[in-house]
Chains A and B, each alone.
Chain A
Amino acid sequence: MSCQISRLFLRRYTSEAVQSIYPFSNNVKTPPAPILNPTRPLLNGKGLMAQLYKSLPSKHTQEMLGTLFSRRHPNRILPGSVLTVTSSQAPTTFTGVLLGIRRRGPGTSFTLRNVIQRTGVEMQFFVGSPHIKNIQVVQKATNISGKNRKGGLRRAKLFYLRTSPDKMSQISTNMKS
C-alpha cells in the first residue's frame, strides 16, 4: 500500500518535468536515440531493420549478441556447451547443455537441457530479457576447428540428445573430469 502511494507521488512529482519536455503525456520516458542524424537511405527504410536490430536492445544485450551469440566471434557459444544462466526470476540459476541458438535479432533465444532428479528439463531463455543477469560458460563444446569436425558435435541443433541419455551422461562426465 505504501509503495502504491509513493509511486503515485513519484508520478505527480515527475509529471511536471516530463510535461515540459513532452506535453502530450505524463506516462512516458525518453530513452536515448539510436541515431541522432539519420541518413536519407535510413529515412527511406533502407537498412533500417538491420540498424534497429543492432541498436534497440539494451547495452548488456548488445554485448552478448555481439560476442556470445554472434556467428563468427571467437568467444561465441557453440551448441553442446554447458552454460549456467543467472536470472532474477525463478529458477534463479539454471545449468544445462546448450541445444541450440535461435537467432532473431533482439528476440534471440537459446535452450538449455538438463536432467534434474531423473527428469529431463529444458528451458528457453531470451537474450534480450531484462531478467537475465549473467550467462556463464561452465564447459566449452568439443573443439570444432575449420572444416574437420572429428569427434565433435556436428549439428547446430542438438535435439537428438532428447532421446539419447547416454550422450547426455557423456557430456556430464566430461564436465566432471
Chain B
Amino acid sequence: MLRLFVQGTVVRCRRLHTTINQLAKESGQEMPSEPPKWTPESIRTGVIARKRGMTTFWDDHGAMYPATILQLESCQVTANIETIRPDNTVYHAVQVAATDRRWKTTTKQMRGHFAKAGVPAKTIVKEFPVTKDAHIPVGTTLSAAHFVPGQFVDVVANSIGKGFAGGMKRWNFKGQNASHGNSLNHRRPGSTGQHQDPGRVWPGKKMPGRLGGERITQQNLFVVQIDNKLNLVYVRGCVPGVDDAHVLIRDAKKNMLQLAQQNNDKGLPDKVLPKGLVTLPFPAGTKELAKSLPPVVAVVSTGRSPFLPYTM
C-alpha cells in the first residue's frame, strides 16, 4: 500500500492524487506571500453553477438578445490535485464542489472527504484542469466575480433528455412523402444499407434511439453581466440542461485560452484578452473579492449600432 504523503515528492501513481496544500505543510515550505498574477499561459479553474432560467436583454444600441442566468450556489474548492502521468508530465487540477446537502444523507466516504477540506457536504464535486500557478487554498468560496463581463466562457451541462427519439429528430432525417400514395412510411428511416454486398448494416448506422441526457459543452458564450450580491453570471445565448441543473462554467478554450496564448506568442498584447479586458481575477474570484467590487457589473456594447445605415 503506497503511502500518499511522502515528504518532498509527488506520488508516481496514476490512480492516486496528492493534495498540494498537504504537501506544502509536510515539507515545511512557506506559502508564497504575493498572490500569483494572470499570464496568457495560465489556465484558471472553472466554477459549478446552477442554470436558473433565461431572460431578455437590450444592449446599448437597442438590439435585443437572450441571456441565461447562472447562479453560483456555495461553490467551494475541496482539493488541489497534482498527479504525474506515465510520460512524466504533471497534471494539475482544482477540485470544486457546490450546493450544500444534508450531512445525514451524505455517504461516510464523502463525509470524510468534505471534512478534510473543511467544507459542508456538497451535492456535486467536479475537477477543472489548471496550470501550476492556478491552485487555490482549499475551502475558498468562489463567486461570480471570478468572471469578467466581456469575456467568453464554455458552459458544460447535461442536455434535456428526449427519450427514445426517431430518425428525424435524432439525425435530421428527411422522412418521406406525406401523400402521393405513401403508405405508413412518413417518418421512418427508410433504407439502412445496400444489397448482398456488404449484406449487412454498417456499425454506427444512424438509427432511432435515446437522445439527450448527455454531457454537452456550449462554447464561446459571452458574459454580459455579473451580480456580486446574488452570485449571478449572465451569459448571452442558451445553455444546455433544465432549470436548476448544475452547470460547469470555465474560460472558453477557443476564444480565451487559445487566443491568449497565440496572440502572446505573436507579440500582440492588445489581442491577448477580449476587447476592454485588462486582466482576469487570478487564481480565482473569491467571496472576499466580490465584496470589494460593485454589486452589478455589466458590459458596455461595442461596435456600430445595427440600426444606423451603413455609411463609408
Q: Is the beta-carbon distance between A33 and B295 smaller than 8 angstroms?
A: yes
Interface SS of A by simple majority: loop
Give every chain B residue within 8 A of A74 (Cβ-Cβ).
Answer: none
Residues of B contacting A89 in the complex (Cβ-Cβ under 8 angstroms): 62, 307
The reply to whether A26 and B229 form a contact with Cβ atoms under 8 Å apart is no
| Residue contact A26 to B278, C-beta cutoff 8 Å | yes
Does A13 sit within 8 A of B, measured CB to CB? no
Among A37-51, those with CB < 8 Å from B are 37-38, 42-45, 48-49
Contact B295 A24 (CB under 8 A): no
Min distance, Cβ A20 to any Cβ of chain B, angstroms: 11
One of A31, A34, A35, A129 near B298 (C-beta < 8 A): A31
The residues of B that contact A29 with a CB separation of less than 8 Å are 297-300
Chain A interface residue bracket vs B: 35 or more
Could you tell me if B277 and A32 are in contact, using CB atoms closer than 8 angstroms? no
Q: A80 within 8 Å of B by Cβ?
A: no
| Per-position binary interface string of chain B over residues 60-101, scored 1 when its CB falls under 8 Å from any chain A CB and 0 otherwise | 001010000101010000000000000000000000000000
Contact of B55 among A30, A31, A44, A53 (CB under 8 A): A53
**Measured between alpha carbons, how far is A22 from B285 in the docked complex, in Å?**
13
Q: Tell me the minimal C-beta distance from B232 to chain A in angstroms.
A: 8
Given contacts A29-B298, A30-B298, A45-B244, contact A24 B58 (CB under 8 A): no
Any B CB within 8 A of the CB of A105? yes
Q: How far is the CA of A89 from the CA of B61 in the complex (A)?
A: 11
Please indicate which of the listed interface residues A26, A27, A44 has the most CB atoms of chain B within 10 Å of its own CB: A27
* Cross-chain contact of B278 among A24, A36, A37, A128 (Cβ < 8 A): A24
Contact code string A120-143 (vs B, CB < 8 Å = 1, else 0): 000000101111000000000000
Q: How far is the CA of A56 from the CA of B52 in the complex (A)?
A: 15
Q: Could you tell me if A45 and B55 are in contact, using CB atoms closer than 8 angstroms?
A: no
Binding site for B on A (CB under 8 A): 19, 21-38, 42-45, 48-49, 52-53, 56, 88-89, 104-107, 126, 128-131
Query: What 3 A-B pairs come out closest when comparing CB atoms?
Result: A27-B276, A33-B295, A107-B56
